[in-house]
Amino acid sequence: MKIILAKSAGFCFGVKRAIDCVYNMIGFGKIYTYGSLIHNKFVISDLEEKGVFVVDNFDEIEKDSTVIIRSHGVPKSIYTELENKNIKYVDCTCPFVKKIHTIVNKAYTAGDEIIIVGNFEHPEIIGINGWAENSGIIINSPEEALNTYIDKNKKYTLVVQTTYQRDIFEDISKVFSEFANVKINNTICSATDDRQKEAVIIAKNVDKMIVIGDEKSSNTRKLFEISKKYCKNTFLCETIYNLQLNILQKSDKIGVTAGASTPPAIIKEAITKMSENENFEEMLDQSLITLHTGDVVKGTVIGVNNGEVSVNLGYKSDGIIPKNEFSENPDIDPADVVKPDDEIEVYVVRVNDGEGNVLVSRKRLEANKGYEEIEEAFNNKTVIKGKIIDIVKGGLIALINNKRVFVPSSQISNRFVEDLNEFKNKEFDFNILEFDKSKRRIIAGRKELVQKEIAAKRQQIFESINAGDRIEGTVSRIVDFGAFVDIGGVDGLIHISEMSWGRVKKVSDVLSEGDKVTVTVLDVNSEKGKISLSLKDINNDPWKSAPEKYTIGNIVEGKVVRMVPFGAFVELEEGVDGLIHVSQISYKHIAKPDDVLEIGQVVKAKVTDFDAENKKISLSIKEADVKPKEEEKTEETTEA
């Protein structure tokens, strides 16, 4: 085995400078880094063990501590905040990044628009944009560049992330080179450029290429993408122990490079393990697993061809998933679900399919898992999600974990449901009521869940509404004495007397089932579970203006609406009635009101008393000096 190590592999100047700075400061007070110092969990873990912690908020740090600004750099505002809070800091921003800050700040101050090429989520880009008061146009592909509007009346300054891929930047630069008012600055770090160029040269001349580094590292991912272009068998791993060693052969020529955040010790360990033939063979043997029918193992997808999926199992032979063993759904195309380098679990059907391959199944694993999760929900009385897919005799069929489960019609709701089709193609939570795996008999229901949901909703409503609130609702039921209104899962009652300021003879004259209404809450009684509502709008209460209209002594006009033995009630306006006592109806003695008056008759009367508190008005026809028509007719007859 021949190993070619890139000369530029590992820490770049800026990262090494920041790392060395932090390690040299350990033991001299409390140290924090603003954001992760490096995209490498081994280094971060080691620093934490030595008392160096990552912070994103300066309110979290202890007094008299020192903050390290990482090589990625930070926005201008961070320096201001540190100084305002009198926090000591050491600036370890990479000089190449610092140069970009200077370019951007100078151009922005001069009135230029700023274009930044890179990943908008990367801390370096966030820091650069902060020197233009976060106004920069951030572009990460030639397509985005083509869709960027350039105003010919403005000047632009363009910079690029130090670790950006050179060939893609060149494509973006070509787009903007057409505009004379765009000044292009190639700020890709020379070390990054050298590292990428070297990766291309090595990848073209090896059987396999290994990129060592954290996949979260931008420059590591770019090295992997570049190497993959020229060497199909390119692998990304954090350490040599993350690499499936059975992919390597003793006869291979192997290229190795590493990202700017990869410590030298990790690179050295990888080279040593691969170079020591005896140790390597021992590690290779240890890496080869043994397989048995029925095993559940993890593997990495190698490729998908005509619906058949090849999987690296870490075994001497690859695993093959035929299309009919991929999913219970025959319409699923494996290529739409998995892609090369995806890690998946599979069930071993046969260790040798007759052609030297391992026959594995994803479908059978999912089937077993589906039953296991349903059984777990049954045993633990927990809720599990499913979708109603069919209506059958006596109930419905729900698909739960890709298993057909029977739901009796009596268990789909807490009420009788006439048309079960209203539930079809909808997802719900279910309880598993019966589970017999051997007979493949599973029964589910949601009646109890619905009751709990309604109880919880009722409690929430009773806790959230108060007398005087105006709320929306839907009329759910009409009765003789009023109407019930659904106000979000709980019914409240509008009594017939609360439907109008005027008189209502029948509820159906005002409301119908299904009507949307706005009501006022009169009373909430959570103990009795009752809510009293009113359809009246308190702002239109006619009694508010009644004292002015019906002052004692005023002559008013109204319609007789009701008669009782002691007098007649006159509607002065909708919601305001007055009483004419029988003694105040006529100058002559009458036994009862209807001797002189009739329902619907319009009369004029004088206001003799007004009781605002009890909403009572006393009227007199006699004092209004207006005689009823019946008396006038009687007098005319007598005179004749």
Q: Which of 444, 458, 288, 447 is nearest to 378 (CA)?
A: 444
Buried/exposed 406-420: b ≥16 CB within 10 Å, e otherwise: bbebebbbbeeeeeb
- Alpha-carbon gap, residue 75 to 130, rounded angstroms: 4
Assess whether 278 carries a catalytic annotation.
no
- Alpha-carbon gap, residue 160 to 173, rounded angstroms: 10
> 51, 61 in Cβ contact below 8 A?
no
- Alpha-carbon gap, residue 211 to 262, rounded angstroms: 10
φ, ψ for residue 23, nearest 5 deg: -60, -35
- Alpha-carbon gap, residue 352 to 143, rounded angstroms: 48
- Alpha-carbon gap, residue 397 to 393, rounded angstroms: 10
DSSP 441-510: EEEEE-HHHHHHHHHHHHHHHHHH--TT-EEEEEEEEEETTEEEEESSSSEEEEEGGGS-SS--S-GGGT
> 350, 359 in Cβ contact below 8 A?
yes
Helices (H) and strands (E) in the chain, counts: 16, 32
Q: What residues contact residue 369 under an 8 Å CB cut-off, 6+ apart?
A: 401
Other CB atoms within 10 A of residue 404 CB: 14
DSSP 297-354: EEEEEEEEETTEEEEE-SSSS-EEE-GGGT-S-TT--HHHH--TT-EEEEEEEES--S
Other CB atoms within 10 A of residue 514 CB: 8
DSSP 150-202: --TTS-EEEEE-TT--HHHHHHHHHHHTT-TTEEE-----HHHHHHHHHHHHH
Which one from 48, 83, 124, 328 is the annotated catalytic residue?
124
The three-state (H, E, C) secondary structure of 576-629, written as one string:
EEEEEEHHHCCCCCCCCHHHCCCCCCEEEEEEEEEECCCCEEEEECHHHCCCCH
- Alpha-carbon gap, residue 307 to 548, rounded angstroms: 86
φ, ψ for residue 337, nearest 5 deg: -110, -40
- Alpha-carbon gap, residue 629 to 609, rounded angstroms: 25
- Alpha-carbon gap, residue 501 to 520, rounded angstroms: 13
The strand pairing partners of 358, in sequence order, are: 319
The C-alpha angle with vertex 634 and arms to 630 and 636, in degrees rounded to 5, equals 115
φ, ψ for residue 231, nearest 5 deg: -140, 110
- Alpha-carbon gap, residue 241 to 266, rounded angstroms: 10
Q: At what angle do helices 13-25 and 95-109 cross, to 10 degrees?
A: 110
Q: Which residues are catalytic?
A: 124
